[in-house]
Structure 1
Amino acid sequence: MKAAAQAQATTGGPPVLLPPRLKAGDTVGLIEPASATWEPFAIQLIEEALANLGLKSKRAHNILDRDGYFAGDDQARADGVNQMFADPDVAAIMSVRGGWGTARILPFLDFDLIGQNPKALIGYSDITALHLAIHARTGMVTFHGPVGISAWGQQSLETFKPLLFDAAMPDYVNPVAGEDRLVQRKWRTQTITPGTARGRLLGGNLTVMTALVGTPYLPDFDGAILFFEDIDEAVYRIDRMLTQLGQAGILGRVAGVIVGNCTDCSQGSSIGGFTLSEILTHHLQPLGVPAYSGAFIGHLTDQFTVPEGGLVEMDADAGSFRLLEPAVR
């Protein structure tokens, strides 16, 4: 029997704020709030990809700047973000890449300005800090999806374009892998706790999200559908981070959990240690809310674009979720 789990339509914090949808001819502002891009040709490729989507592009002033491993110092990177939200010619904002450093710029962001100029913000990985902070401080829906340097394959575009251009409400069902096997193995989901739940979708990269605990940049997770993903983390570190989220009172407040891909997350050299699936079961099953793992979210060649703060309904038995209202206006 499915677990009974139903979330409220909204979490605490500011009212939900929707950005305008994209249309052909719009300008996308390119930002670098984290690590530096070392190769100018990478920016050219991003601009060509956007052109193929019918979009123009505009570079933040710090694109290709370097300060150690950052794309400029903290103030410069924050100014690049503020610049794009203030620019009336920019319709949406996309991060060139992730890496590390977005959390360092949060104190320098003008959240009043951002809230007065809602725009679709797109990116993942370290950009999780920007998504969560903006939602916490303004209520704006943002988009956890490809960064500029991503591959932009067909599977990425299947959710990106309808969601952002058409105000569609997609069903997020993992793609069917074209494997020559009797039973599909790639892109499979696994039910941790059965059931369905509704709530605002909040989360992102687990490492980045956990590092925001105790700061004013983490939104209210009451009744939320938590999602997370990560890359290149040992299983014991996933265990440690989920322990922190549990002891901080976050896991106990959510209505459901969607685990994306944990790319290259292994037991390391330990013998007889826990597997990732065992650690997920340890932390998520006792919550008594629907949970599943393996969603098409994370450090993948292609991935879903999902709305941070969007209202969704998840089905842990089916390993899928669906958007219940448009995420753009």
Structure 2
Amino acid sequence: MNRRFFTRNLALGTAIPYLLNGQKSNRRHERLALLKPARLNRGDLVALITPGSYIPDAGLEKAVKNLEDLGLRVATGKNVRAKYGFVAGTDSQRLEDLHAAFANPEVKAVWCARGGYGCTRLLPYIDYHLIRKNPKVFIGYSDITALHLAFLQKTGLVGFHGPVAQSSFTPYTLEHFVAVVMEGQATHTIPLAEAYANPEDSLYKFSTLRKGRVQGELVGGNLSLLAAMAGTEFGLDARNKLIFMEDIEEKPYRVDRMLTQLRQSAHLHQAAGFALGIFAGCGPEEGDDSLTLQETIIDRLADTNVPAVYGLSFGHISHQCTLPMGVMAELDTEAQTIRLLESAVR
């Protein structure tokens, strides 16, 4: 993902207590039993936090309005207006808001106002015992992938790869968010967003890389984050999983590099199938000596010999569905759908 910033070291400041506590969780744990949060209802209190990059005033105002329009009450994190360089406050400030949201018994969901760099810095220092004791709906995408994957592996919590609070809540986005998170349908089919998108919008183009129908545990997220977590205790293990991935503004050679990294670290060749979203702005520029995005993906995934598609309606796009991490799902390349085989909430 194009961050538009150079990574630089940040002072840890008051994060030291969290660092010392976090050192207890430096080994890879076996997968815990799946932990489903209670469904979200109108009138519920939602904590709005910024665990990654800073959000400007206009974005925060839009985020609050979006949630209130859903009939939810909003409590912004104590440090939601904090800023430390390009991240939303120091590590300790962002951890404080994350922990406070899960610890508050009145809060029924924790919604990330935006994504952006910073989430991976928090992973070793999160109180996973606190989160497991207080399972709640946790929502976001992009860099929030890091938290979803860590929560699933360390606590078993089902997280929701869906719109951040400042996203554009189109009718398609709302329909599938409500069905998955608020209604908690026992099975739910997620089709393409063709009926909602402009027919001339070249983003919403579906293609089948390998035909088939397959079931598996739904796991994945943003490709850049999955690659960034490779080799850590929080890294992706694709074995027997239905892997979903998306990204934005990455040239094909960088997509190649990240998929190659995951092939060598995450057992991609043993995945059950691949459900790829929309990789907005990831094509080569005119004049580049490059494969196309689709040629790159085929080159890196074709030898897995499992069902795979590109162009499902999730990613850095307006019309995005909500995908629950950890639940059983089915990819049907002929129907061009993902079908959730169980409720993601209780």
Amino acid at match of 1:117: N
Post-superposition shift, 1:219? 4.6
**Identical positions, percent:** 38
Pick from 176, 186, 189 the counterpart of residue 171 of structure 1. 189
Structure 2 unaligned segments of length 5 or more: list them.
Answer: 1-29
Equivalence for 1:216: 233
- In structure 2, distance between residues paired with 1:281 and 1:297: 19
Query: Superposition RMSD on alpha carbons, in Å?
Result: 1.8
The answer on 1:119 being equivalent to 2:119 is no
What 5-or-longer segments of structure 1 have no aligned partner? 1-11
2:226·2:236 contact (CA, 8 Å) conserved in 1? no
Give the corresponding residue for 1:32.
Answer: 50
User: Which ranges of 4 or more aligned residues in structure 1 deviate by more than 6 Å?
Assistant: 178-181
Q: Secondary structure at the match of 2:247?
A: strand
Q: By how many angstroms is 1:185 displaced?
A: 6.2
Partners of 2:238 and 2:266 within 8 A in 1 = no
In the aligned structure 2, how far is the partner of 1:272 from the partner of 1:218?
32
The whole-number CA distance in structure 2 between the counterparts of 1:194 and 1:257 is 11
The alignment of Structure 1 onto Structure 2 pairs a total of residues equal to 316
Question: Is contact 1:42-1:149 (8 Å) kept?
Answer: yes
For 1:309, what is the secondary structure of its paired residue?
coil
Q: Does 1:60 align with 2:84?
A: no
Alpha-carbon contact 1:135-1:142 (below 8 Å) kept: yes
2:62 matched residue in structure 1: 45
For the Cα contact (< 8 Å) 1:13–1:139, is it kept in 2? Answer: yes
Partner of 1:289: 306
Read off the aligned partner of 2:39 and give its amino acid letter.
R
| Pair 1:199–1:22, CA change in 2 (3 A) | same
Partner of 1:311: 328
**How far off its partner does 1:216 sit?**
1.0
Task: Supply the distance in 2 between the matched residues of 1:225 and 1:146 (Cα, whole angstroms).
Answer: 21
Asked whether the equivalents of residues 218 and 243 of structure 2 are also in contact (C-alpha less than 8 Å), the reply is: yes
Distance between the aligned counterparts of 1:49 and 1:91, measured in 2?
A: 17
Residue number in structure 2 paired with 1:325: 342
Residue 319 of structure 1 deviates from its aligned partner by: 2.2
Aligned position for 2:41: 23
Describe the SS at the equivalent of 2:344. coil
Offset of 1:64 from its aligned partner? 1.1
Change over 3 Å in CA distance of 1:76–1:287 after alignment to 2: same
CA contact (8 A) 1:136 1:219 kept: no
Q: Match of 1:45, SS?
A: helix
Q: Any conservation in 1 of the 2:49–2:111 contact (CA below 8 Å)? A: yes
Asked whether the 8 Å contact 1:177–1:186 carries over to 2, the reply is: no
- What is the distance in 2 between the residues matched to 1:326 and 1:180? 31
Give the one of 14, 23, 31 matched to 1:13. 31
* Displacement of 1:247: 1.4
Following the alignment from structure 1 to structure 2, what is the Cα–Cα distance between the partners of residues 205 and 179? 22
Q: 1:220 to 1:273 in 2, by over 3 A?
A: closer
1:200–1:224 Cα contact (<8 Å) kept: yes
SS at match of 1:294: strand
1:130-149 equivalence runs, <5 A: 130-149=147-166
The aligned counterpart of 1:265 is: 282
Q: 2:245 aligns to what SS in structure 1?
A: strand
Higher relative contact order (CA 8 A, sep 6+): 1
Kindly provide the amino acid, as one letter, of the partner of residue 145 in structure 2. Answer: T
Match of 1:3 in 2: none
1:250-294 per-position Cα deviation (integer Å, ceiling 9, x unaligned): 212210001101111121354442001101111111101110000
Change (3 A) 1:59 1:249: closer
User: 1:71 aligns to what?
Assistant: 88
Q: Deviations over 1:207-257 (max 9, x none)?
A: 011100111112532211001000010110000001111111421221000
SS at match of 1:83: helix
Kept in 2, the 8 Å contact 1:75–1:108? The answer is no
Pick from 319, 337, 341 the counterpart of residue 302 of structure 1: 319
3-state SS in 2 of match to 1:91: strand
User: What amino acid maps onto 1:319 in structure 2?
Assistant: Q
* C-alpha displacement of 1:31: 0.9
2:239·2:268 contact (CA, 8 Å) conserved in 1?
no
Shift of 1:148: 0.9
CA gap 1:176/1:128 in 2 versus in 1, 3 angstroms: same
The whole-number CA distance in structure 2 between the counterparts of 1:104 and 1:270 is: 37
Q: Deviations over 1:73-109 (max 9, x none)?
A: 1121112111101110100010000111100111221
User: CA–CA distance in 1 between the matches of 2:106 and 2:85?
Assistant: 31
